[in-house]
Amino acid sequence: MIKTQDLILDKGKFEDWKDMYENVWSKQECAKYLFWDITDNEEDAKDRMNRTIAFQKEHDVYTVYEKESNKAIGYAGFEKVDEGIYEECGICIGPDYFHKGYGRQILETLIDHVKNECGAKEFIYHSRKENIASIKLAQSLGFEFIGEEISKNEKDGKHHILNVYRLKL
């Protein structure tokens, strides 16, 4: 479990399916910059929650809960890519939770966690080139732009440009 001022990052539970469906998975605004399709019915949301739980057991990926409401409002995670180097592997919160500083809290907490718990010396952050809010967040935290990557969405075959940022820790 990882805590911020307003959030808790913890492994998901099956009963989170409805919150995740209502707050995240059914929202086009969430899928817009990520590589997944929206979920448009409750049965698929339940199946998706089971897949999420299995994935989170094997990876450093967490469901994001708002402390005040205790609702599941998104997900976030990181992964080791090389000795001393970690990167975020997706940060997403539902549109009803935009503009509350939650993205900043999540990213700062992931950085602190990998630095203090994993011994990271560098943190890598990716953002779709058109995701202005994400780019501004990276810049505000002192990330250095290091280049672009072309990423292919395996679901639709489309290519996207990702800005790549680095923060020395």
The domain in which residue 138 lies consists of 2-168
pLDDT band of residue 69 (cuts 50, 70, 90) is very high
Report pLDDT for 79. 96
pLDDT of residue 158: 76
Give yes or no for residue 33 having a pLDDT over 80: no
Q: How confident is the model at residue 155 (pLDDT cuts 50, 70, 90)?
A: low
Has residue 106 got a pLDDT over 90? yes
Confirm if 49 and 17 have CB atoms less than 8 A apart.
yes
> Of all residues in the chain, what percent carry a pLDDT higher than 70?
94
Tell me the whole-structure pTM to 2 decimals: 0.90
Which residue from 161, 159, 46, 32 is spatially nearest to 93, judged by alpha carbons? Answer: 32
Q: What is the DSSP letter of 96?
A: G
On average, the pLDDT of the chain sits at 91
Residue 41 belongs to domain with CATH number: 3.40.630.30
Query: What is the crossing angle of helices 102-118 and 132-140, to 10°?
Result: 50
The pLDDT value recorded for residue 154 is 66
Can you give the pLDDT at residue 157?
72
Single out the residue of 29, 25, 50 nearest to residue 38, CA to CA. Answer: 25
> In this model, does residue 28 exceed pLDDT 90?
no
Q: Cα–chain-centroid distance for residue 45? A: 18
- The count of domains in the chain is 1
More confident residue, 38 or 103: 103
Tell me the mean pLDDT in the region 65-84.
96
